[in-house]
């Protein structure tokens, strides 16, 4: 069975720069309800962790807690198409706010 390719979402940023990303918040919905500390980066993953059923992010993706326990964190200004911005409460992901 072939993999379904989703066309990149193209938007214009606040300064007129074209920003495109192939992933959306719905692609990472499986992260809701998980502890941030239990999610492993791709570079740190191995076959043993996959066999254990641990959650490993796709390559290059990182998690940034945009809202921690109701307090807004300062997000870097530059756009990063691999940054997953989440809202957490007691390190449990409540929602996926944005990608980038």
Q: Are 63 and 86 in contact (CB under 8 A)?
A: yes
pLDDT for residue 9: 67
Give the tokens for residue 3: 């993999």
In this predicted model, what pLDDT tens digit does every residue of 58-71 receive, in sequence order? 888 999 998 999 88
Q: Are 41 and 62 in contact (CB under 8 A)?
A: yes
pLDDT for residue 94: 93
| Residue partners of 47: CB distance under 8 A and separation at least 6 | none
Domain residue spans of the chain = 23-99
Q: In the predicted model, what is the mean pLDDT of residues 29-56?
A: 90
Q: CA of 50: how far to CAs of 11, 44, 45, 75, in Å?
A: 35, 11, 8, 31
């Amino acid at each position: 069975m072939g993999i379904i390719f989703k066309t990149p979402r193209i938007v214009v940023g606040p300064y007129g720069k074209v920003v495109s990303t192939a992933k959306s918040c719905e692609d990472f919905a499986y992260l809701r309800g998980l502890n941030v500390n239990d999610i492993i980066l791709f570079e740190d993953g191995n076959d043993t962790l996959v066999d254990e059923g641990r959650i490993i992010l796709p390559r290059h993706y990182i998690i940034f807690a945009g809202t921690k326990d109701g307090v807004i964190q300062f997000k870097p200004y530059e756009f990063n198409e691999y940054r997953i911005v989440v809202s957490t409460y007691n390190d449990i992901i409540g929602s996926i706010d944005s990608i980038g």
